[in-house]
Structure 1
Amino acid sequence: MPSLAGSLLRGALLSPFRRPRPDAAFPRAPLTLPGVRIDLARLAAYERICGFPTGDDALPPTYPHVLGFPLAMRLMSARDFPLPLLGLVHTGFDLTRYTALPATAAYELTVRVEGLAPHRRGTEAAVLTVLRRGGEVVWESRSTYLARHRTDRADGDANGTADGDAYGTANATDRAAPLPASPPLAEWRLGGDLGRRYAAVSGDRNPIHLHPLTARLFGFPRPIAHGMWTVARCLAAHGTPDAVRVRARFLAPVPLPGTVEYAAGNGRFTLRGDGQTHLTGTVERLASGPRR
């Protein structure tokens, strides 16, 4: 597994020299790592901080993202990746799990950069992660990351924008005809150290999540929660079938410390706080079975 510390250091050193733009060249070759085994102690720590039950033999639906994160970091810290690693904001996450994932199995991980796209607040990169077992695809995801910079785009990007959508990730349908709000089910109080605690189990030590001082360097008055923690926490509360498709959009940062309200209903979930929507997502049951 690539060294996360090495990738973070390389990405930090190269970040000031990046000149992000949507038509820039990017690394196209995938990275593949066979024979991946799960560290059960680290898995249990992840489950505890995200609210998943511990001791189950199956991986939580979001955990393969953590497994693939070192490979993604290697790609995004490479010299030919055009976006600055420091300050990247996770704006969207889609996953498909085709079957239950045993925690004691061996897997093959493949990660690649799908491409770059213009965004109303900068340039967005899409990263694809695929998990295979016995040659069959059992899980895959698509993450989008935003590098914020000055643009000439005065109106919405290709995805559309919506009120309260700080990153411009809501689609045009949601903007034109918002769905009824889901009923609130829980209120969660988030500590100021949540970003540091999640970083310890996920390896994602982006400075915007760690301390007020480092967050201010990238335009955030306070540290913000990891997007992947918010979606994992919501899925732990919502529950997911073995075969499932999840789509999540991070609409506004979650400042730390803070209080958020979790709402869910009819296969949708929402995280709200301070009068704005931070996260929306959907959970869709699929027919079980791996994909070749």
Structure 2
Amino acid sequence: MLLRAALTSFRRGETLAAQPVSATFDVSLKHLTAYNAVCGFGLRDALPLTYPHVLGFPLQMKLMTGAGFPFPLPGLVHVANRITQSRPLALCEPLEITVSARDLRPHPQGMQVDVVTSVSGVWEGVSTYLRRTGGSSGSSEELQRPVGSAVWRVPGDIGRRYAAVSGDRNPIHLYPLSAKLFGFKRAIAHGMWTKARCLAALEGRLPEAVTVDVRFKKPLLIPGRVEFSARENGSGWEFAVWGKGPHLVGSAQDLTP
């Protein structure tokens, strides 16, 4: 998979012609238990909100390394993720997963595209990827540091542990040396691990029908110490992870009629 990803480095196209890919999955209790342990979830009959993203990851890689996807994978930045579910997915149900790409569009720093994972008609994950080609951030947004509600010490092996359960073995997440080859001082935590860790902290307090939208900000260098904050608003929750600056900002919105 890493070799296929490396071979996409020669892509220079700006058209989107990737065809959707699909498969049926049965949840492995052993794998789910390992995922929950890495991310902080308890074991329940309902799947954690972020778990279908991991199940769909092989299909995501198949689509992104296949013909018709416009960007090379090296250097591609995961800038945002939105998950919407109309009901929880059960541990025992077979899952029909389809991955597609849509909405190729300009960004002040380059181009971006959405990779969409749909599961059994009740769960959808939209990962937005940015291909930087220059320019400025195009945003004057200034985020105010929220009051932390918990301190997390993120261990240096969390990238390798999450890679083992997610299949995402990008070298920037594994070891300091492999991360330095891509310009990072140390390895960085996966964005989807950070999101999962936030939702594990809110477990039992989110509605069953919900949209959870996050933006990934500064890379979270590991090992590291960060503050998690969460506050309830009128229709859900706002939450964030901060170190010296913001690593993730997000919201959870209740979709219950």
- Shift of the alpha carbon at 1:219? 2.0
In 1, the alpha carbon distance for the partners of 2:154 and 2:73 equals: 26
The code of the aligned residue for 1:200 comes to A
The equivalent of 1:113 in structure 2 is 101
- Shift of the alpha carbon at 1:107? 1.3
- Shift of the alpha carbon at 1:30? 1.0
Aligned pairs for 1:74-89 within 5 A: 74-89=62-77
Give per-residue Cα distances to partners, 1:118-157, cap 9 Å, x unaligned.
Answer: 333333221111101xxxx1101110122333x2x3460x
- Shift of the alpha carbon at 1:249? 0.5
In 2, the alpha carbon distance for the partners of 1:285 and 1:252 equals: 27
The equivalent of 2:213 in structure 1 is 247
Instruction: State the TM-score, normalized to the length of structure 1.
Output: 0.81
Q: Does 1:143 align with 2:127?
A: yes
In 2, the alpha carbon distance for the partners of 1:96 and 1:63 equals: 13
Q: 1:90 to 1:69 in 2, by over 3 A?
A: same
In 2, the alpha carbon distance for the partners of 1:57 and 1:184 equals: 31
On the 8 A contact 1:182/1:265 being kept in 2, the answer is: no
Give per-residue Cα distances to partners, 1:174-202, cap 9 Å, x unaligned.
Answer: xxxx6x75431111111111111100000
Q: Does 1:59 align with 2:47?
A: yes
The code of the aligned residue for 1:197 comes to R
In 1, the alpha carbon distance for the partners of 2:48 and 2:137 equals: 38
The equivalent of 1:73 in structure 2 is 61
- Shift of the alpha carbon at 1:112? 0.3
Aligned match of 1:29 in 10, 16, 19? Answer: 19
In 2, the alpha carbon distance for the partners of 1:260 and 1:181 equals: 12
Instruction: State the TM-score, normalized to the length of structure 2.
Output: 0.91
- Shift of the alpha carbon at 1:13? 2.6
In 1, the alpha carbon distance for the partners of 2:95 and 2:140 equals: 38
The equivalent of 1:194 in structure 2 is 158
The code of the aligned residue for 1:162 comes to E
The code of the aligned residue for 1:49 comes to V
Q: Does 1:19 align with 2:12?
A: yes
The equivalent of 2:141 in structure 1 is 162
Secondary structure of 1:74's counterpart equals helix
The code of the aligned residue for 1:19 comes to R
On the 8 A contact 2:18/2:63 being kept in 1, the answer is: no
The code of the aligned residue for 1:190 comes to V
Q: Does 1:223 align with 2:187?
A: yes
The equivalent of 2:238 in structure 1 is 268
The equivalent of 2:167 in structure 1 is 203
Number of aligned residue pairs: give it. Answer: 251
Aligned match of 2:223 in 243, 250, 257? Answer: 257
The code of the aligned residue for 1:127 comes to V
RMSD: 1.8
Unmatched runs of 5 consecutive residues or more in structure 1: 1-6, 164-177
The equivalent of 2:111 in structure 1 is 123
Give per-residue Cα distances to partners, 1:84-143, cap 9 Å, x unaligned.
Answer: 2123221100011111210110111111011322333333221111101xxxx1101110
In 1, the alpha carbon distance for the partners of 2:145 and 2:157 equals: 30
Q: Does 1:10 align with 2:4?
A: yes
Secondary structure of 1:60's counterpart equals coil
Aligned match of 2:33 in 36, 41, 44? Answer: 44
Aligned match of 1:283 in 229, 252, 257? Answer: 252
On the 8 A contact 1:182/1:268 being kept in 2, the answer is: no
The code of the aligned residue for 1:43 comes to L
Q: 1:219 to 1:117 in 2, by over 3 A?
A: farther
